[in-house]
Amino acid sequence: MFWKWLRKPKTKTDKANIKHAAHNSTSEQQVKSKKDLIVEFEKSLDNEEKLLLKKLPGRSLTDFGWWEDRTGKRVERVLKKFLKLKLVKQPGLEEALYLLRNDELKQILALYGLKKTGKKKELVKQLLANVNHSELRNIIPKSLYKTWVHTEIGNALVKRFDEFLASKKRDVEKEAFQLLLEGNVDRAARLVFDFRDLKMDSYGLGDSDEAFKKEIKREAKKWLSYKYRDLDTTDDLRRKAGAAIALGALFGDAMRYGPTYLGDIFQGDFPCPSLKKFLKDHPEIYMAPRKVTFKNMAKIYIHYYWFRFINQNKKRQIMSLIRRDIAIGIKIDVIDNCPICNSGVLSATGDGVKGIEKLPRHWGCRCSYEPILKMK
């Protein structure tokens, strides 16, 4: 009796504490085992398979011909591996709703007179709460139920892979940018292309990847060698602007990527007095940001470089057309009825071509040169 009494909790509080401790212990074991599983599964998949896992939800296997071409593997075989590891499953009703686009969800909500505003989670919640589930199943395309979604562990694995890609990209950006500042385009390109190959980025339609890589590298070299002498900025900023655009070109989108990277460099002050003055004097001009931040100034700064480079190349092409007697002159295509660009020499023929206004005329200017073709 004594031993029985010793083992028995004396109060209801004691019982509750023991139950809570047992529950916590079980939860810790579950969390630990899930983490161990994720690490184990992560080791069992290569990067190509992780990329397929990331892109699989909502798609049929026939959508992955590009993946098979790049890897030489069969999607069906890798899918069997995912199923064995319980990383994917076929969607239920709620998961199928999440696979729909927001505009598709809003169309269904409109059918039932339900509120159409909010995030996807709120739209799905509304439908599940207010519409008969069997009706919803019939509205959703049957093909979606034959696709795949991630399980909880599959989701966690994809999240870890995304974190790995983000970290890798930051390292590549930093090293490649430094190489470009040193003028080493070849090594910078190799770093960026290896990363893009890891993500299986598409390089160009109708061209081989290798041919397109060469073209991208040539473009980056042009940006790096281009001298922006007409701006009242330091050589350091000009050099870094060229490297930022070249880095953007290697990543596949110089105009979007370059400004972001250049904006990250100058956190203390953006060293371009004429740009600051222009934003103060012309607050309504194209691209003038509501909030003047370093990244916004970098965007306008590189936009100027971009159009300067494009227009100089275009002017050379038009001059070649004039020499070949295909065109008789050059004109400026003025955008947005800009009062700055509507002044000056806007078109010229013969010897007057040399006196045409230089483009861009101002920060944010989108005007371009066009040929005046010879009439037949």
Percent of the chain with pLDDT over 90: 41
At residue 285, the pLDDT reads 67
Domain edges within the chain: 1-32, 103-146, 171-265
d(CA 145, CA 82): 17
At residue 6, the pLDDT reads 36
Using DSSP's 3-state secondary structure scheme, residue 328 falls into strand
d(CA 29, CA 35): 10
Using DSSP's 3-state secondary structure scheme, residue 296 falls into helix
> Per the structure block, which two tokens stand in for 116?
């159409």
d(CA 146, CA 92): 10
133 versus 376: which is more confidently predicted?
A: 133
Residue 7 reports pLDDT greater than 50: no
Percent of the chain with pLDDT over 70: 87
Burial (CB < 10 A; 0-12, 13-18, 19+), residue 110, is exposed
Over residues 193-216, the mean pLDDT reads 88
Over residues 169-188, the mean pLDDT reads 94
Predicted confidence band at 209 (pLDDT cuts at 50, 70, 90)?
confident
At residue 229, the pLDDT reads 61
Cβ–Cβ < 8 Å for 335, 272 = no
**pLDDT tens string 46-98:** 999 999 999 999 998 999 999 999 999 999 999 999 999 999 999 999 999 99
Average pLDDT over all residues of the chain = 84
**pLDDT tens string 229-255:** 666 677 788 888 889 889 999 998 877
Predicted confidence band at 303 (pLDDT cuts at 50, 70, 90)?
confident
Selection from 291, 197, 339 nearest residue 299 by Cα: 291
290 versus 15: which is more confidently predicted?
A: 290
Q: Which residues contact residue 173 at a Cβ distance below 8 angstroms, ignoring those fewer than 6 apart? A: 247, 261
Over residues 160-187, the mean pLDDT reads 94
At residue 8, the pLDDT reads 44
